[in-house]
Structure 1
């Protein structure tokens, strides 16, 4: 309680994108640069610790490949869809300031917390209804999530499960309406606390589902993705820090993407 966090980050993404064969897009590669700002505000729900966060991204992305056998390139530059997220601890330390939470960790070196959250992606990003590739999705995405963190000494293990629920995009490409069935996801992280407030983590995630439905006709384009990540964070002052993250995404079906993602983020608490 009483600690807000402001962050800014840059990410670079590159890799291969696999489309539905009916679109006749082949050998498609993507390179994207993104900037994002975030803000986190803690608050109290009765005696439970909760927080709300906002993320606003701006991106420039280039796709290149073959369309019907002809070389084609596309660029999009603008705001992507922002996201707002609220979460609350159901079990764990009571709502307190930084010193009180730190004392709780000292008094309980082995403990487990449980929490729930809801993230909402807002359809405010750049979107053109006559274009297939866009930075925005022109729809709401609701992501309820449940998770736990188990602490022992300077180690912790995180496990979360979530589902992505999509509203209809009434202005999809070629005057179509696009629905999408839910995507189910799980992710885990193993975190090691280091000296001086630094930490190191390794993570893995898996997603399944997300079949699209165009004009009420199922498209048969199920997604299955595996993600692996590594992060390192360090303090540069008492209240400022940096985080470097690498994420590898692999498509396990014929539709999806294989990408490498690098993120450098700065944050300050106040």
Structure 2
């Protein structure tokens, strides 16, 4: 089955099966609800301490597969709507905040270069996956709610791009995969009204190990590590996202070949700056040709 997750912060992607082989002409729609609690304010340039935030996130996703140079390619679109509330200490003062609105959208375009031919649904029935190698480009589109004079926002007011490579392998009922990518950011020229915010690239590495049952239900463990991202405001260094780890698990239950549900959670295993929060997500997926 396809896998679609809503994304709520740069770097914390934990999305299994991004490079798995599928029939061409596959469409998938997903609705996601996610609840997160903790320090979800991840921008190291913000003078925020002790953040205790709660976020109810509603996400919509769509995936379409197609053939390109006789290889399997796909395009994916996701966008979240977030209800955020909580308290934090800003410049030594306790404050409360609430934000409701859209977050930044994500567009992923990818192609499997090796081990994943473009197959029709009929041809796909006889396909046995071994090793797949693919590449993709993820683009974060700044559509999210952003107030120029506020520290806490749902959008980032800048574009971000992540070229990524991925490899996956099927071993009977086991499925293993790993992705490596680097986030690049454009400048935010309206940070706190008229300041210039810049951020160095963030390197991200994630891995997944899944087990499939006979009815196509599957469970998996997930891990993510990211590093870098030194941030500057008006050319003054203000912090980075050095050496952060997140771990989680996924459980996908098919109703039939068209309908499935997925439960996912992940937590901060080791955190230097931001990302010290827990998240649980439930999604419904509908597949059609």
Give the TM-score of the pair, scaled to structure 2: 0.86
The answer to which structure has the higher helix fraction is: 1
CA–CA distance in structure 2, aligned partners of residues 260 and 235 of structure 1: 25
210-219 vs 138-147, which moves further: 210-219
> Partner of 1:264 in structure 2?
282
Q: How many angstroms does 1:216 deviate by?
A: 1.9
> Partner of 2:221 in structure 1?
202
- Is the 8 Å Cα contact of residues 19 and 25 (structure 1) preserved in structure 2? no
Q: How many angstroms does 1:28 deviate by?
A: 1.6
- Is the 8 Å Cα contact of residues 83 and 99 (structure 2) preserved in structure 1? yes
CA–CA distance in structure 1, aligned partners of residues 261 and 107 of structure 2: 22
Q: Higher RCO, 1 or 2 (CA under 8 Å, sep at least 6)?
A: 2
**RMSD in angstroms over aligned alpha carbons?**
1.9
CA–CA distance in structure 2, aligned partners of residues 189 and 249 of structure 1: 16
Q: How many angstroms does 1:81 deviate by?
A: 0.4
> Partner of 2:50 in structure 1?
27
Distance change >3 Å, CA 36–CA 18, structure 1 → 2? closer
SS of 1:103's equivalent in the other structure is coil
> Partner of 2:62 in structure 1?
39
CA–CA distance in structure 2, aligned partners of residues 158 and 37 of structure 1: 24
Distance change >3 Å, CA 208–CA 49, structure 1 → 2? same
Give the TM-score of the pair, scaled to structure 1: 0.92
Structure number, greater radius of gyration? 1
> Partner of 1:2 in structure 2?
25
- Is the 8 Å Cα contact of residues 175 and 210 (structure 2) preserved in structure 1? yes
Question: Is residue 206 of structure 2 the alignment partner of residue 187 of structure 1?
Answer: yes
- Is the 8 Å Cα contact of residues 104 and 144 (structure 2) preserved in structure 1? yes
Size of the aligned set, in residue pairs, is: 265
Distance change >3 Å, CA 18–CA 251, structure 1 → 2? farther
> Partner of 1:116 in structure 2?
135
255-264 vs 16-25, which moves further: 16-25
Distance change >3 Å, CA 17–CA 42, structure 1 → 2? closer
Q: How many angstroms does 1:5 deviate by?
A: 0.4
- Is the 8 Å Cα contact of residues 202 and 226 (structure 2) preserved in structure 1? yes
CA–CA distance in structure 2, aligned partners of residues 68 and 50 of structure 1: 48
- Is the 8 Å Cα contact of residues 198 and 234 (structure 1) preserved in structure 2? yes
Distance change >3 Å, CA 145–CA 47, structure 1 → 2? same
Distance change >3 Å, CA 154–CA 126, structure 1 → 2? same
> Partner of 1:231 in structure 2?
250
SS of 2:116's equivalent in the other structure is coil
CA–CA distance in structure 2, aligned partners of residues 102 and 223 of structure 1: 45
Q: How many angstroms does 1:150 deviate by?
A: 1.2
Q: How many angstroms does 1:2 deviate by?
A: 1.9
The answer to which structure has the higher strand fraction is: 1
